[in-house]
A and B are shown apart, each in its own frame.
Chain A
Amino acid sequence: MSRVALEHITKRFDDVVAVDDLTLEAHDEELLVLLGPSGCGKSTALRIIAGLEAPSEGTVRIGDRDVTDAEAKDRDVAMVFQSYALYPHMTVARNVEFPLRARRVPPAERDERVAEAARALDITELLGRKPAQLSGGQRQRVALARAIVRRPQAFLMDEPLSNLDAKLRVQTRAELVDLQRRFQATVVYVTHDQVEAMTMGHRIAILDRGVLQQVDAPQAVYERPANLFVARFIGTPPMNTIEGRLTGGADHLVFEASGVTVALPAGLASATMSASPDRVVLGVRPEDLRLDPAGSLTAKIILIESLGHERHLVVRLDDGQTVIVRQPGDQTPPRDGEAVTLSANPDSLHLFDADTEQRISS
């Protein structure tokens, strides 16, 4: 397997910039996830790697080869599509061997490789069927078999799980990770589903409006989001953000919004003082807020969403802003409309510059 690298890639469709100066590398044997909302440019970036779109600017490298101007068939990458893109008039066996026929692989070797791919994906008994006779999950496996049978340098996957039902998706997610490990494959995986990204990716690259926002390991992205977009995009429910200003000195820095006062811990304060922004946004994840009789934030419960193992409490602060508190299922639930006090874990506070939206805290 090989590394896949995009260097200063820009793609314009008339006046629309779909990908803006994207530099990104999937290391050898890495599963890199491109994550972002619809229209963020992630699929376009993948298609540029595949050779299905030509970049307006920049270079694409697969291994040590510059493939920017190479045709899709000459890039030695395999792609799994959201729709699976199986040829409906061919049997599963013909679908899987289709790329080998194009490369004029001798029939004996072709049969052997198809059988091997079918065994790896557990679809041997389906080889004689047509795609219309398969379930969504089986079609997905056939599409994967068609990709691995080629033994390409890298796999590209464009939301391959989004047509599966929730239960099958969880199962297939684990199988894909297992497959990636077994084949030691370099995979560039596109999704809009942050759970997929967090659970599967070695690293996650988050895009918004064609611009790379952050690329890092899933836990690092969760714990230290580079900007407000990432902070709000990663996590369910999303991070609570409150706009306000900072008062006090380095030894006692305080975040203030109308009706909300939060003392910042010393470490956060020193990093913030050097940046000294006028307006800041305080971010705190729902699990870092808790109902605390001794807490400094007064609020009122307006909605309780119970998920069984946990509860999401939607509360309104004194200044009218709503925040979400995640409460473990084994704790006593509050009542609807009850007045409560909250406290935040001081070590898990995030601060962002309200103007640049970039992270301030260390």
Chain B
Amino acid sequence: MTADAAILPGPVTASTEVATRRRGGPSRRVRLLGRYLLLSVLAVIVLFPIYITVVNSLLRPAQIASQPPTFFPTHPIFSTYSDAWSSGHLGHYLFNSFVVTIIIVGGQVLTSILAGYAFAFLKFPFKRALFVLFLATLMIPFEVTVVQNLTTVVSLGIYNTYAGLAAPFLAWGLGVFLLRQAFLGIPRDLDDAAALDGYGNWRFLWRVAVPLARPSIAALTVFSFLTAWNQYLWPLLVTKDEHLSTVQIGLRQLRGTSLENVNITFAGVIIAVVPLVVLLVVFQKQLIRGLTAGAVKG
């Protein structure tokens, strides 16, 4: 550095300044510190309820109600989890939730791929108007249509079945929107090249468009899973037998048994959340890529 400076004083001085700037002066460090502090506070706000649920699931009911509240269980009771699993029949409810969620996710992904492709690549009359109509369905809360949906499900004869639990959610405006945008990001030349190579719409969709839209499809899968897994109102209305109850209904029944078992309810909540956490961990990369897809020219 010194030798260089002796030979080339001008450029070296300039590059030293650049290097200092790049490494970051004190103000940059303070800004970075502030940013991390803010993110840490936000993380605490998000994670605290989950932490308290875990803590409460390991306490005796009397300790949960005591003041001041306990934040660090000194004698954790892990048997609450096995109690929740066995006495609350959580295994059965989780299975039901899995079945219904997989039907819904599969249906939503399939219908979103097909409709998204049609809106992105095909030419047909009233395309724009129909797309706006699809989007408009996002603005109608589910509660508004719940009675009509229930009537339809009953008249179709699928009340109190897995099909009845899943039917109203097999297509989703948001999914169609998400995949249409993803497909629009595929260069038109690829479509043209495939047409010349001998591929029609169907084969282009599955061989080219879907593989290229994978991040968006993964994101849709996660969103769809979260929404379907957390449903409460519809499963409550459309089932009458306990053997079809989903995990959210099961948790309510667990809570309803006795106030003395409130720690078991907390344990049940944590068990019900585990599949979602696993899903988010597995898909987190795709989820972020899906959310930011198209934001930057790739």
| Contact call A52/B192, Cβ cutoff below 8 A | yes
| Contact call B197/A73, Cβ cutoff below 8 A | yes
Q: Taking the complex as formed, is B187 at the interface, i.e. its CB lies under 8 A from any CB of chain A?
A: yes
Contact flags B192-212 to A (C-beta < 8 A → 1, else 0): 111111111001000010011
Contact of B211 among A71, A72, A81, A89 (CB under 8 A): A89
| Contact call A99/B189, Cβ cutoff below 8 A | no
Residues of A within 8 A of B30 (CB): none
Once A87-B208, A88-B212, A89-B211 are accepted as A-B contacts, the answer to whether A78 and B196 lie under 8 Å apart by CB is yes
Residues of A within 8 A of B190 (CB): 85, 87
Give CA–CA (A41, B151) in the complex, Å.
58
User: Closest A-chain residue to B187, C-beta based?
Assistant: A83
| Contact call B197/A81, Cβ cutoff below 8 A | no
Give CA–CA (A114, B147) in the complex, Å.
60
Once A52-B192, A81-B189, A85-B189 are accepted as A-B contacts, the answer to whether A99 and B208 lie under 8 Å apart by CB is no
A161 to chain B, nearest CB (A): 16
| Contact call A102/B198, Cβ cutoff below 8 A | yes
| Contact call B192/A79, Cβ cutoff below 8 A | yes
Q: Taking the complex as formed, is A182 at the interface, i.e. its CB lies under 8 A from any CB of chain B?
A: no
User: Closest A-chain residue to B190, C-beta based?
Assistant: A85
| Contact call B198/A79, Cβ cutoff below 8 A | no
Contact flags A60-80 to B (C-beta < 8 A → 1, else 0): 000000000001110101110
Residues of A within 8 A of B194 (CB): 98
Q: Is the interface of A mostly helix, strand, loop or mixed?
A: loop
Give CA–CA (A349, B199) in the complex, Å.
54
A166 to chain B, nearest CB (A): 23
B51 to chain A, nearest CB (A): 41
Residues of A38-64 whose CB lies within 8 A of B = 47, 50-52
Q: Taking the complex as formed, is A103 at the interface, i.e. its CB lies under 8 A from any CB of chain B?
A: yes
Give CA–CA (A207, B187) in the complex, Å.
27
Contact of A83 among B189, B196, B198 (CB under 8 A): B189
Residues of B within 8 A of A47 (CB): 192
| Contact call B193/A73, Cβ cutoff below 8 A | no
| Contact call A102/B192, Cβ cutoff below 8 A | no
User: Closest B-chain residue to A94, C-beta based?
Assistant: B207
Give CA–CA (A309, B192) in the complex, Å.
44
Once A83-B187, A85-B187 are accepted as A-B contacts, the answer to whether A103 and B198 lie under 8 Å apart by CB is yes
Once A85-B187, A85-B190 are accepted as A-B contacts, the answer to whether A72 and B203 lie under 8 Å apart by CB is no
Give CA–CA (A82, B189) in the complex, Å.
9
| Contact call A102/B195, Cβ cutoff below 8 A | no
Contact of A73 among B187, B196, B208 (CB under 8 A): B196
Contact of B212 among A50, A89, A98, A150 (CB under 8 A): A89
| Contact call A85/B208, Cβ cutoff below 8 A | no
Binding site for A on B (CB under 8 A): 187, 189-190, 192-200, 203, 208, 211-212
Binding site for B on A (CB under 8 A): 47, 50-52, 71-73, 75, 77-79, 81-83, 85, 87-89, 98-99, 102-103, 146, 150
Beyond contacts A72-B192, A87-B193, A99-B197: 15 other A-B pairs, Cβ-Cβ < 8 A, are A52-B196, A73-B196, A78-B196, A79-B193, A81-B192, A81-B193, A85-B187, A85-B190, A85-B192, A87-B208, A89-B211, A98-B199, A99-B196, A102-B197, A150-B197
